[in-house]
Amino acid sequence: MKTWVVVADAARARVFNVEGKAIAEIMDLSHPASLQHASEMASDAPGMTSVKGMPSKFGMEEIVSPKEEDAIRFAKQVAEALQAGLADYERLYLIAAPHFLGLLRKDLDKAVQAKIIEEIDKDLTKHTLEDIRAHLPELF
């Protein structure tokens, strides 16, 4: 049975193909903008606005921070890659940093969701193949 394992966080997604006991990396997506500090992405001061006829000004809060917006964008990119490769796998394991896993779930197509066997909320993007394999079940 063709199995893919996705290991991701907001800056990197690694996709592995598992055949029997062999595991091989087949895709490495990166999003370097997510590694920037929030202060490098936008001003730290909120915008200001005023209401006509009132002398005072009001601070405007961001609904979504620039860093969060980048993570959302990257989650969409990863979801699109999984959709594009849909015919290449029958089972899917998602291992992702907890927050990024939530973002990714929102963008996954129903056909991709149907192939998910297990979700693990851990950030293993910087781990070795052996470490990643150790987090997978012994079923294959």
Check residue 101 and give its pLDDT: 97
Check residue 36 and give its pLDDT: 53
Check residue 19 and give its pLDDT: 87
Check residue 118 and give its pLDDT: 95
- Supply 101's token pair: 């896993």
Check residue 114 and give its pLDDT: 98
What is the distance between the alpha carbons of residues 112 and 28, in angstroms, rounded to a whole number? 19
Check residue 64 and give its pLDDT: 76
The angle subtended at Cα 7 by Cα 98 and Cα 115, nearest 5°, is 90
Check residue 41 and give its pLDDT: 47
Check residue 87 and give its pLDDT: 96
Contact 33, 70 (CB under 8 A): yes
- Supply 94's token pair: 């998602």
Check residue 75 and give its pLDDT: 97
Give the β-pairing of 3-8 and 12-19: antiparallel
Residue-by-residue pLDDT tens, the chain, 140 positions? 899 999 999 999 999 999 888 889 999 999 876 655 555 545 555 555 556 666 666 555 657 788 899 999 999 999 999 999 999 999 999 999 999 999 999 999 999 999 999 999 999 999 999 899 888 887 55
pTM comes to 0.77
Domains delineated in the chain? 3-34+58-134 (3.30.420.60)
